[in-house]
């Protein structure tokens, strides 16, 4: 009688534990996501997002993955955008490759999954100062505004000054601010100059309040600028969704390359106060290029990480594995994964105003429109850990019952 009772208790215990293991395994499955939040900045660098948003491509391409709503938020620069992402307000961000470095160092779980754009910024001085500018030494003692610390522009400006024998703290007053405020203040002669991404330099020139003296591609040839950043949660729990996000970004980028004037119109529609003619002129004269291959941005992004570490912006020197996940792009391209060392250098467009409109870089591989993704896979069955735990419980129960028999 006692043996029978013990056996019944063991069997009941086995059933309960097994059931709990199954529930535990099922509870770690990816949470459903129905709304996607995207951050971006009011720069022509990031028109790929604007094109996908305004044409409804984000909503159409992602709905089969359960996404019912796509929202976007505009930020004046990368650092505040990263603060929002760290607070869980963004799933995806169009942002310079520098701001994620400091954010990831401080605990942001996210990776760069695609490139967006290279070069594309410029130093603009007041007309009087521009007329006498000959070298970086002429900036000594000036008040220059650029994006806040940790941004692409701040990183490039400080490194360029140091490379040219100037102290970015002692020799020049660098002020962090967004593009709208910077344009206003150089126009009011509060600032001597600005270092801003397109289209701001062209806007200032056309307003007659400043002149471009140096393009960022001259300061740091072929430097990475904007990228597509995705949260680790999406990467780990919804990889098929992330793959489609990269596909849609590639398609929007290629569309803009082929329809530059329409891209300018989309920008002017999306960004409050933008002048369509100024935007078109900027896209004719900037030294930037829209791209999507993340391998093209790895080398200079690691240089940014080194600069940030040396300037004390980060506590550790981050690696490519800390910052990039190129697997989605590599899968889409269906080719061998290139290494950063083997990546050919980009050929920078010439900076003069007469330079041609944007074209694809020689290292980009043109793609056809993204293939229809497979339907969202069904949730996985309980994993190996749960099955193993159940097997162990049954084995122990069997041994105990055999010994009591």
Q: What percentage of the chain carries pLDDT values higher than 70?
A: 75
Q: pLDDT-derived band of residue 45, with 50, 70 and 90 as boundaries? A: very high
- What would the mean pLDDT of 338-343 be, rounded to a whole number? 36
Q: Please indicate, yes or no, whether residues 112 and 142 belong to a single structural domain of this protein.
A: no
Any idea which of 139-148, 172-181, 190-199, 364-373 has the lowest mean pLDDT? 364-373
- Residue 358 resides in a domain: no
pLDDT score for 260: 98
Write phi, then psi, for 265 (nearest 5 degrees): -65, -40
- Residue 17 resides in a domain: yes
Q: pLDDT-derived band of residue 94, with 50, 70 and 90 as boundaries? A: very high
Going by their DSSP bridges, the two strands 143-146 and 173-176 should be labelled as parallel
pLDDT score for 30: 58
Q: How many CA atoms lie within 13 A of 46 on its CB side?
A: 30
Q: Please indicate, yes or no, whether residues 114 and 133 belong to a single structural domain of this protein.
A: no
- Residue 352 resides in a domain: no
Any idea which of 3-17, 78-92, 114-128, 356-370 has the lowest mean pLDDT? 356-370
Q: Is the pLDDT of residue 249 over 60?
A: yes
Q: Is the pLDDT of residue 341 over 80?
A: no
Per the CB < 8 A criterion, the answer to whether 288 and 117 are in contact is yes
- Domain harbouring 202, CATH code: 3.40.190.10
pLDDT score for 345: 34
Number of H helices, E strands in the chain: 18, 12
Greater pLDDT, 129 or 368: 129
Q: Is the pLDDT of residue 23 over 90?
A: no
pLDDT score for 405: 52
Q: Cis link prior to 199 (omega < 30° from 0)?
A: yes
Q: Please indicate, yes or no, whether residues 155 and 52 belong to a single structural domain of this protein.
A: no
Q: Is the pLDDT of residue 193 over 90?
A: yes
- Residue 350 resides in a domain: no
pLDDT score for 393: 47
Using CB atoms within 10 A of its CB, is residue 141 exposed (0-12), middle (13-18) or buried (19+)? exposed
Q: Please indicate, yes or no, whether residues 113 and 133 belong to a single structural domain of this protein.
A: no
Q: pLDDT-derived band of residue 334, with 50, 70 and 90 as boundaries? A: confident
Dump pLDDT digits (tens) for 205-243.
Answer: 999 999 999 999 999 999 999 999 999 999 999 999 999
What is the distance between the alpha carbons of residues 360 and 120, in angstroms, rounded to a whole number?
14
Q: Please indicate, yes or no, whether residues 301 and 392 belong to a single structural domain of this protein.
A: no
Any idea which of 44-48, 300-304, 339-343, 360-364 has the lowest mean pLDDT? 339-343
Q: Is the pLDDT of residue 18 over 70?
A: no
Q: Report how far apart, in Å, the C-alpha atoms of 340 and of each of 27, 55, 345, 353, 365 are.
A: 39, 34, 10, 32, 16
When the pLDDT of each residue in the chain is averaged and rounded to a whole number, the result is 83
DSSP annotation of 215: E
Final residue of a domain: which of 342, 360, 376?
A: 342
Residue owning tokens 């942001």: 108
Per the CB < 8 A criterion, the answer to whether 180 and 210 are in contact is no
Pick from 249, 347, 357: which is nearest to 296 by CA? Answer: 347
Final residue of a domain: which of 219, 237, 265?
A: 219
Q: pLDDT-derived band of residue 8, with 50, 70 and 90 as boundaries? A: low
- Residue 169 resides in a domain: yes
pLDDT score for 340: 37
Q: Please indicate, yes or no, whether residues 244 and 327 belong to a single structural domain of this protein.
A: yes
- Residue 353 resides in a domain: no
* Residue 71 DSSP SS3: strand
What is the distance between the alpha carbons of residues 398 and 386, in angstroms, rounded to a whole number?
19
Q: Is the pLDDT of residue 384 over 60?
A: no
Task: List the structure tokens of 160.
Answer: 């360029």
Q: Please indicate, yes or no, whether residues 104 and 236 belong to a single structural domain of this protein.
A: yes
Q: Please indicate, yes or no, whether residues 334 and 257 belong to a single structural domain of this protein.
A: yes
DSSP annotation of 150: T
Number of structural domains found in the chain: 3
Dump pLDDT digits (tens) for 255-306.
Answer: 999 999 999 999 999 999 999 999 999 999 999 999 999 999 999 999 999 9
Any idea which of 121-135, 190-204, 331-345 has the lowest mean pLDDT? 331-345
- Residue 348 resides in a domain: no
Pick from 256, 79, 90, 69: which is nearest to 151 by CA? Answer: 79
Q: Is the pLDDT of residue 77 over 90?
A: yes
Final residue of a domain: which of 288, 320, 342?
A: 342
Q: Please indicate, yes or no, whether residues 137 and 205 belong to a single structural domain of this protein.
A: yes
Q: Please indicate, yes or no, whether residues 171 and 129 belong to a single structural domain of this protein.
A: yes
Greater pLDDT, 146 or 364: 146
What is the distance between the alpha carbons of residues 231 and 235, in angstroms, rounded to a whole number?
6
- Residue 235 resides in a domain: yes
Any idea which of 1-5, 298-302, 370-374 has the lowest mean pLDDT? 370-374
Task: List the structure tokens of 237.
Answer: 């729990």
- Provide the residue range defining the domain that includes 400: 2-28+387-404
Q: Please indicate, yes or no, whether residues 240 and 97 belong to a single structural domain of this protein.
A: yes
Q: Please indicate, yes or no, whether residues 113 and 126 belong to a single structural domain of this protein.
A: no
Per the CB < 8 A criterion, the answer to whether 251 and 372 are in contact is no
pLDDT score for 404: 54
pLDDT score for 31: 73
């Amino acid at each position: 009688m006692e043996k029978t009772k013990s056996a019944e208790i063991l069997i009941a215990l086995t059933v309960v534990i097994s059931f709990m293991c199954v529930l535990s395994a099922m509870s770690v499955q990816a949470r459903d996501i129905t709304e996607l939040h995207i951050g971006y900045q009011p720069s022509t660098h990031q028109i790929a997002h604007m094109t996908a948003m305004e044409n409804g491509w984000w909503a159409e391409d992602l709905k089969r993955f359960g996404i019912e709503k796509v929202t976007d938020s505009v930020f004046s620069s990368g650092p505040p955008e990263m603060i929002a992402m760290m607070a869980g307000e963004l799933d995806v961000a169009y942002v310079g490759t520098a701001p994620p470095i400091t954010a990831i160092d401080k605990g942001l779980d996210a990776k760069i999954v695609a490139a967006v754009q290279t070069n594309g910024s410029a130093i603009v001085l007041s007309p009087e100062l521009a007329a006498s500018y000959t070298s970086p030494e002429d900036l000594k003692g000036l008040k220059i505004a650029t994006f806040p610390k940790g941004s692409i522009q701040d990183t490039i400006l400080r490194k360029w000054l140091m490379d040219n024998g100037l102290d970015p703290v002692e020799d020049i007053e660098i002020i962090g601010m967004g593009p709208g405020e910077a344009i206003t203040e150089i126009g009011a002669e509060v600032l001597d100059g600005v270092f801003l991404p397109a289209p701001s330099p062209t806007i200032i020139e056309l307003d007659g309040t400043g002149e471009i003296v140096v393009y960022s591609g001259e300061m740091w040839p072929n430097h990475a600028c904007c990228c597509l950043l995705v949260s680790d949660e999406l990467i780990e729990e919804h990889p098929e969704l992330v793959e489609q996000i990269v596909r849609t970004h590639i398609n929007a980028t290629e569309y803009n390359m082929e329809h530059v004037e329409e891209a300018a119109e989309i920008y002017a529609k999306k960004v409050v106060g933008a002048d369509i003619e100024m935007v078109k002129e900027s896209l004719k004269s900037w030294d930037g290029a829209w791209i999507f291959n993340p391998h093209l941005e790895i080398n200079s992004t690691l240089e940014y990480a080194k600069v940030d570490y040396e300037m004390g912006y980060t506590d550790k020197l981050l690696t490519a594995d800390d910052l990039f996940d190129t697997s989605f792009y590599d899968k889409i391209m269906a080719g061998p994964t290139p290494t950063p060392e083997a990546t050919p250098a980009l050929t920078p467009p010439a900076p003069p105003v007469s330079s041609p409109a944007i074209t694809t870089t020689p290292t980009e591989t043109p793609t056809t429109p993204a293939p229809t993704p497979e339907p969202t896979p069904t949730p996985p069955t309980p994993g190996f850990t749960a099955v193993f735990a159940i097997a162990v419980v049954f084995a122990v129960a069997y041994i105990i019952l055999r010994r009591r028999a």
